[in-house]
């Protein structure tokens, strides 16, 4: 199959996943919200280009302190490839262990100081950082999950994506609730 045909198929799969997931009321079932986040994590990875400085044989999706999500990710990534590499997931519990991560997910249950420690280390590597904390983008994160009217969505800080040496597809940017460049929190925004 030609490269353009594969890209079209991947994009159609992304649209199917996100359009189906976007309509789920997460207030009804927290585990559904986790499944939506998992699907987004996998799809984010498919629409981001990593610098060629990352020559690792595996594509690593790392999760901070969430055993249950890592277990579901292991099942979801089994036998799959992302960016031409075997997809794997890892649990991390120390910022000093994230250098091999391609995607780093930091749950909203983390304390602010811990989030900042992970983001400071991640800034030294080509890592796509994803989190939920209301200040995640302000602290240097690239993508933040938000729940709006019961639906899991996401915001992107494009400057932080670029600082990590990553390139994000315009197709992914179109699905974001908001995309920030030279980020400043909009006045009057309350969360």
Beta pairing class for 151-157 and 103-106: unpaired
Domain containing 107: what range?
3-179
Q: Is residue 158 part of a domain?
A: yes
Q: For residue 187, what pLDDT is reported?
A: 60
Which CATH number covers residue 148? 3.40.50.2300
Q: Is residue 163 part of a domain?
A: yes
Return the SS3 of 106.
strand
Q: How many Å apart are CA 159 and CA 130, to the nearest integer? A: 14
From first to last of its 191 residues, the chain has per-residue pLDDT tens of 444 444 334 444 444 444 444 444 433 445 788 888 889 998 998 899 987 655 778 999 999 988 888 898 899 888 898 888 899 999 999 999 999 999 999 998 888 889 999 999 999 999 999 999 999 999 999 999 999 988 899 999 999 999 999 999 999 999 999 999 874 555 655 54
Report the Cα–Cα distance between both ends of the chain, in Å, rounded: 46
Q: Is residue 44 part of a domain?
A: yes
Q: Contact at 8 Å (CB) between 102 and 50?
A: yes
Specify the number of domains making up the chain: 1
Q: Is residue 143 part of a domain?
A: yes
Cα-based angle 80, 29, 41 (whole degrees, multiple of 5): 30
User: What pTM did the predictor assign?
Assistant: 0.79
- Per-residue CA distances from 102 to 3, 117, 137 (Å): 23, 17, 18
- Per-residue CA distances from 23 to 105, 152, 191 (Å): 23, 9, 21
Q: Is residue 191 part of a domain?
A: no
Q: Is residue 48 part of a domain?
A: yes
Q: Is residue 161 part of a domain?
A: yes
- For 50-94, the three-class secondary structure string (H helix, E strand, C coil) is CCCCCCCCEEEEEEECCHHHHHHHHHHHCCCEECCEEEEEEEECC
- DSSP conformation letters of 123-188: TTTT-EEEE--TTTTTTT-SEEEEEETTEEEEEEEHHHHHHTT-EE-HHHHHHSSEEESS--PPTT
Q: Is residue 184 part of a domain?
A: no
- Can you read off the two tokens belonging to residue 55? 């020559």
């Amino acid at each position: 199959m030609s490269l353009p045909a594969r890209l079209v198929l991947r994009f159609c799969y992304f649209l199917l996943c996100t359009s189906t997931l976007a309509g789920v009321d997460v207030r009804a079932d927290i585990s559904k919200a986790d499944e939506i986040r998992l699907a987004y994590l996998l799809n984010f990875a498919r629409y981001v280009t990593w610098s060629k400085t990352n020559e690792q044989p595996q594509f690593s999706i790392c999760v901070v302190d969430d055993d249950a999500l890592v277990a579901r990710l292991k099942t979801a990534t089994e036998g799959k490839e992302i960016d031409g590499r075997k997809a794997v997931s890892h649990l991390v519990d120390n910022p000093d262990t994230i250098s091999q991560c391609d995607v780093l997910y930091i749950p909203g249950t983390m304390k602010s100081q811990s989030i900042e420690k992970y983001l400071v280390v991640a800034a030294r590597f080509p890592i796509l950082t994803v989190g939920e904390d209301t200040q995640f983008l302000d602290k240097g994160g690239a993508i933040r999950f938000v729940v709006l009217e019961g639906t899991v969505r996401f915001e992107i800080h494009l400057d932080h994506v670029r600082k990590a040496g990553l390139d994000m597809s315009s197709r992914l940017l179109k699905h974001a609730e908001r995309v920030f460049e030279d980020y400043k929190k909009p006045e009057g925004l309350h969360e």
